[in-house]
Amino acid sequence: MKKILLILGILILLPLASAQQVTVNVGDISGAQGGTAKVPITLAGAKDVGSMDIVLNYDTTILQAIYVENGELSKNSFIEANTANGGEVVIALATSSGINGDGTVAIISFEVKGDVGSKSDLILEKVAVNDINLVEVTATAKNGMLRVTEVAPKAGGSGTAILALAAIIVAIVLIRKRQ
């Protein structure tokens, strides 16, 4: 009977021992039409986080996900992402050393397609967090938004000027050869 009570006590207390809570946040950010916007996904209160699964939804008329990279907190973690499904970014992250503290865990790069003044909600549809012992961690998700605030400068600029200068030099050389 004592063994049964001991086992029941452990089973009741086990969830309390892993009552860690972490906040996963996508902040509000602005981006230039025709440019690339880097959207950070941050953690607050991480303690020995060993794995995460994240699904982020966005408006495909405003944005197109390009790629996902590790943030400062997860620089030694394995990260895999799928950006091929329009309107959805799926991220899986794993580490055996544990993620601790507050900061950026992933950065999603988006091509900004929307008109100036448009906006896209950045919705954390799914967030699953486990500690390094694969015990589920309570996660609170905070969504964000990207606003298109300006038009990105056109590519070219000094590169176009260099090409024009090269064309002038070639023309001068050809004229001198004819003389």
- pLDDT tens column, 13-44: 444 444 579 999 998 999 999 999 999 999 99
The pLDDT confidence band at residue 68, using thresholds 50, 70 and 90, is: very high
- Poorest-confidence range of 18-22, 56-60, 114-118? 18-22
pLDDT at 127 over 90: yes
- Which CATH number applies to 14-151? 2.60.40.680
For the chain, what is the HEC assignment? Answer: CHHHHHHHHHHHHHHHHCCCEEEEEECCEEEEECCEEEEEEEEEEEEEEEEEEEEEECCCCCEEEEEEEECCCCCCCEEEEECCCCCEEEEEEEEEEEEEEEEEEEEEEEEECCCCCCEEEEEEEEEEEEECCCCEEEEEEECEEEEEEEECCCCCCHHHHHHHHHHHHHHHHHHHHHC
